[in-house]
Amino acid sequence: MAPEIYSVRVDDYDEIVSVWEESVRYSHHFLSPPDILFYKEAIRNDLLPRSDVICSRDHRGKITGFAAVRESKLEMLFIIPARMGTGLGKRLLKYAADKMGARCLDVNEDNQRAVNFYLGQGCRLLARSPRDGAGRPYPLLHLEIAASVQA
């Protein structure tokens, strides 16, 4: 049975940030601890309040993954490591494209697992930037979400 998708409320933000941090510590080995703290604060205080956010929950109601969309851009898609490879990421991506209008995204070039995931979902490389949106030296790949995911 596929997990249901839920809207996120402001009182879910702390749990969302915890899911983000657990996922990032598992998959973003290129980030330093100060970088993680910098992004964690930016996500909690800036990105989440300005985005449409959805999540999946387990049988106990705990958040297992989430996606955030702002102005047709998938800003974030993170799931807990225990749920990676189960189809949850694909379901969140499809929901973000189909129901929330996500048409593009950026992915850290050094997060090869995520790059492979998005390319495997048919996303198309549009461009590369040597720095991330905060100006830090973490190259980004700019992707278009595949029409097959959007349909």
pLDDT tens digit at each of 151 positions of the chain: 566 899 999 999 999 999 999 999 999 999 999 999 999 999 999 999 999 999 999 999 999 999 999 999 999 999 999 999 999 999 999 999 999 999 999 999 999 999 999 999 999 999 999 999 999 999 999 999 987 764 3
CA dihedral sign, ordered 59, 63, 66, 68: positive
How many Å apart are CA 149 and CA 9, to the nearest integer? 26
Rounded Cα distance, 119 and 145, in Å: 9
Q: Tell me yes or no: is domain 5-150 CATH 3.30.450.40.
A: no
Q: How far apart are CA 94 and CA 100, in angstroms?
A: 9
The token duo for 144 is: 């278009």
